[in-house]
Structure 1
């Protein structure tokens, strides 16, 4: 008896749960303590209990044929708490991915629109410096800009304020002429990115005419423990050095997360030499405090970002360098989500504030001496509120209604031009205020319906009314100029299950976009040259058709999508003086954009994936038949990936067709091909190594038809 009691005292029981990336239980996963040989299987709820020898550190392995093997190390302090292990699947079943594209969570298989979800595990592997890099190589998404850190996402040929970027439902606004890119958000602070490639004005208001990129930041894991994480990276192409750390902890229903990330990079190298003005330095502080119960969630977060010396790469950076000396963002948010109000009702409240500014400098040089310098500073306070109530009636009907408010205030722009002599003495100074006291007020009311009462059908519809007010005091004017718009938008979509594996969907919608304050009132320098404002721009209004087919099998997924958009009063940018890079805005009577996308994932067996996607778009003015700006050339992306226990290896290639019909502010570019390699090794849950080799063949190419592209 004495012998048995000693043996029992040297053993410990570990209890825990094994889940997948969506929080669902992983059934019949092997939990192995290799040193003793003890093992068990998880039950139908993903739970397990395993008795192992009591040691200072206990190493457990989690093995399942559909998931990447994972190993964790537990200390004596952690044994008293429930262990939660999250496994990464080889095969991501599309019906298991939950998205919030239409303002409430549902399976991606039933969403009647084209969408893509990028999880944090994918973001970690890519080691991207910003959001635009993270979105590369997904169906229908390209980027615009000359090059460097400030490229902007482009969805189906629509960018420049036509793609709404949100951070936890807060709008991101940029005073760059190419539009917002949320480059101040470090990918390491992101839980997932949802990309909706369909017009969404009925759900989000103006600026969602081309789709939505929704960035969802990380939350505390609420595992009642304190933990930290350190990450570091180095990039040889531009000597990029990244370093960051994060801390999180929780007790009962309250938790916190704190993260600091910093990146510094010099000019990057291309096969043809150094690319000037492609450097950047950026740091961010992200903090979130959460209170989570079964029927209540409250989140208070702050994202502060500081960017310094962000280069704007151009063809003539040697003689006309342009860069952003400072970019400052301060996004404060509060979210309150209440469940169980009125027998299944849910109430959502949100408010956010973001005072921010951006500085731009452009120089003219002769024989390495600065002869002229132009400086611009744009600053603004952006804020917004959201209130909505949703309720499920019976088993098949879900209703949701609410109101949005988005505002900008105290928007002002200051410009100063200086001239210098050969001894660097200032010979002339010209100060200007292109506009001041800028304001924008968007008020919207929306109502949506989701009905699934007909077998194998899911019907979604919505309607929205918006009122928009734009106001600014142009430089030299005696009084402010005001523009007021009213807009109705609607959406009707349906997804149908033809079988358990085949889903078709279609939708038609009306969307709109009002011209921005900068497009109407800002005249001055930009990252690419000089722009002339046009206060008489009309709002864009569009009619949209979207359809698709999804094939969802256990080891095979394919999606085929097509779309047709007609946009009245499409706002285009024209290059009116190529030598001096001077641009102006104007309305196109009616723009037409159409195209199709394909994507495929095939797993011959667990541990081996073959993947790819392709898109081809066309865009023209229906009046003149001239090509539109920002329509990307056709592109094929494909590759394969192999997992061997904890090691993975991927090779992929991008093939882009030549651009034969450039828009009014573009150039013809040849096609190109590029090959990349990725590898990773998951030593355990606490230590991971990633490697990315880009442009393996060291080819020089132009990816964008921008005349200043590098």
Structure 2
């Protein structure tokens, strides 16, 4: 019997199953009063892939796809949009970096993460600039007792350890992981080695019956993180020699409002070596500081919520050192010395007319950006309105219309230097990118069957496209118009309280005003996930299909279709000890991770063994 035929038989606790939880967006008080915009939430025990990155957690969500090059800092796209068009946050701290690939959150070890979620669609009304595609949110884990986790993986010899402890109020943890270079199914070397140490601390104190104070900190130090790509390693290779992050969030929570302040310090380097020619070491440093206030109330008996967000990036410094191997000369240059300030305020209401539920809201953002002697300002109004109608207990439809925006980043405007892809030139004439999106959702619930279908269409103005000026030089331009549309389908069947299967499908198209395909459009994909709990055992199988991708963007290559599979099994030996094993790329297929022109092959079949102990 072939492995593929075995998969449905290997179909995953002793309670009912929920593979992907759905929560209302930015529902900081958990009231569910504004539930038209939903976040798909994945917890750590539902991951079937290698679980090296946050992107590994979210690939089962129809709107989410891998994007760009590979390695630990794998980037991603949501509904055909990637990089700075996706708002990424950790513990409600916006992650703003200067990586051209976008704001990856993989500088934090996944063992310190509790949940990761995706909001697909325009979200600037709640989250401001950069949420054109949606939002990826990450929440750190807390530990209630002494905990130790160990894992080893073949192929790339990855190994990791987590040591944690905690109680009712305080939790702390330390994690360390490292991996050697990997192998593709054809035994080609994948330069994806890394070493990373991470730590977390949480304290939650109930001041009195009304107020709770919570402090959270996450820190990480990554070393020698290789950027996996299709480049010839003997001619050019890229590495992140050091990457330091520290994130602090302090929140005061009452029954009706939340106030928080946060800080994100980052200091990291990127080194590109062209063998026999030159070496470029680019240093990046910045501080993201800010605060937000969120409150829920009622107006004429209808729920409303409002708040403000302040985000500033200060001390943004990017410096480049170039060493020539032929002349042994050293050249240094300050590329960026700037800052970014954003203040936004929003209000949203929920009301009903006859039997139709409405959510409507608006947000105003003011942005100022500075670099050396140059300064730019921008104001933008974001709005969203949605209407939901329940035909009966089984059928409901939701229509949503919203706009969003993205202010050009310091890097896109001013960076003129060397990156792992080559020379990148900023464009100071870039305009603010904006979008208008339409979405129609229909849901069906009938006995043990759940079905959901989503059609979306996004029209973009001043779409910022990365272009190639020559073989080794890239820059950015505005396209006057662009459009993306797609269809997402999912069907779930609960056989009984312990067995559930989910089938999902997504397809997208995207083109500019003259009909040329945009970069980052995801290939058609389909997945079939089955989860079963049998006494002390849990099994998850994931069969994955990616369709042929022949209509590609200017910085992409075509992809052949592929069928792959992952499995994960957990054995609960007793209340304190658990052993799990996962197999990624079970069929040992050879295929590229994404359509990016520099994307590497995916890893060969990998087996990961985990042992977890916690005092009960």
TM normalised by structure 2 equals: 0.91
Q: Quote the residue 1:298 is aligned against.
A: 213
1:449: Cα distance to partner? 0.7
Q: Which deviates more, 299-308 or 634-643?
A: 634-643
Q: Which has the higher contact order (CA 8 A, sep 6+)?
A: 2
1:434 aligns with 2:367: no
- In 2, distance between residues paired with 1:572 and 1:93? 33
- Cα contact 2:23–2:38 (8 A) shared by 1: no
1:692: Cα distance to partner? 1.1
1:68 aligns with 2:13: yes
1:594 aligns with 2:485: yes
Q: How does 1:465-476 map to 2 (within 5 A)?
A: 465-473=364-372
1:333 aligns with 2:249: yes
Q: Quote the residue 1:698 is aligned against.
A: 588
Distance 1:675 1:98, change over 3 A: closer
1:429: Cα distance to partner? 1.4
TM normalised by structure 1 equals: 0.79
DSSP-derived class of the 1:272 partner: coil
Q: Quote the residue 1:89 is aligned against.
A: 16
- In 1, distance between residues paired with 2:482 and 2:189? 35
1:655 aligns with 2:560: no
- In 2, distance between residues paired with 1:294 and 1:602? 42
Q: Quote the residue 1:283 is aligned against.
A: 197
> Cα deviation per residue 1:576-609 (whole Å; 9 max; x = unaligned)?
223x3x2110111111000010112112233322
1:91: Cα distance to partner? 5.1
Q: Which runs of 5+ in 2 are unaligned?
A: 1-11, 601-616
- Cα contact 2:310–2:344 (8 A) shared by 1: yes
Q: Quote the residue 1:111 is aligned against.
A: 35
- Cα contact 2:19–2:46 (8 A) shared by 1: no
1:92: Cα distance to partner? 6.7
1:239 aligns with 2:161: no
Give 2:171's match in structure 1, choosing from 241, 253, 257. 257
Q: Which runs of 5+ in 1 are unaligned?
A: 1-66, 70-87, 222-226, 340-345, 474-479
Larger Rg: 1
- Cα contact 1:112–1:506 (8 A) shared by 2: no
Give 1:153's match in structure 2, choosing from 67, 76, 80. 76
1:277: Cα distance to partner? 2.4
Give 1:323's match in structure 2, choosing from 219, 239, 253. 239
- In 2, distance between residues paired with 1:689 and 1:228? 17
> Cα deviation per residue 1:96-145 (whole Å; 9 max; x = unaligned)?
x543446653559x73245411124325x656122111111211100212
1:656: Cα distance to partner? 0.9
Q: Quote the residue 1:626 is aligned against.
A: 516
1:484: Cα distance to partner? 0.7
Structural RMSD (CA): 2.0
Q: Which deviates more, 673-682 or 407-416?
A: 673-682
1:514 aligns with 2:514: no
Q: Quote the residue 2:54 is aligned against.
A: 131
DSSP-derived class of the 2:146 partner: strand
Q: How does 1:484-499 map to 2 (within 5 A)?
A: 484-499=377-392
1:540 aligns with 2:430: no
Give 2:148's match in structure 1, choosing from 213, 230, 246. 230
Q: How does 1:31-70 map to 2 (within 5 A)?
A: 68-69=13-14
Give 2:574's match in structure 1, choosing from 684, 693, 696. 684
- In 2, distance between residues paired with 1:708 and 1:627? 18
1:433: Cα distance to partner? 1.0
- In 2, distance between residues paired with 1:174 and 1:551? 40
1:450 aligns with 2:350: yes
Q: How does 1:263-278 map to 2 (within 5 A)?
A: 263-278=177-192
- Cα contact 1:91–1:555 (8 A) shared by 2: no
> Cα deviation per residue 1:529-561 (whole Å; 9 max; x = unaligned)?
221111110000111101111223452222101
Give 2:273's match in structure 1, choosing from 360, 363, 366. 363
DSSP-derived class of the 2:412 partner: helix
- In 2, distance between residues paired with 1:243 and 1:574? 42
Q: Quote the residue 2:508 is aligned against.
A: 617
- In 2, distance between residues paired with 1:451 and 1:91? 30
Q: Quote the residue 2:101 is aligned against.
A: 178
1:273: Cα distance to partner? 1.9
Give 1:347's match in structure 2, choosing from 257, 260, 268. 257
Q: Quote the residue 1:3 is aligned against.
A: none
DSSP-derived class of the 2:228 partner: coil
- Cα contact 2:269–2:282 (8 A) shared by 1: yes
1:453: Cα distance to partner? 7.0
1:383 aligns with 2:310: no
1:452: Cα distance to partner? 4.7
- Cα contact 1:677–1:693 (8 A) shared by 2: yes
1:404 aligns with 2:309: yes
- Cα contact 1:592–1:620 (8 A) shared by 2: yes
Distance 1:326 1:389, change over 3 A: same
> Cα deviation per residue 1:226-257 (whole Å; 9 max; x = unaligned)?
x211111111131110100111113xxxx101
Distance 1:99 1:275, change over 3 A: farther
1:331: Cα distance to partner? 0.7
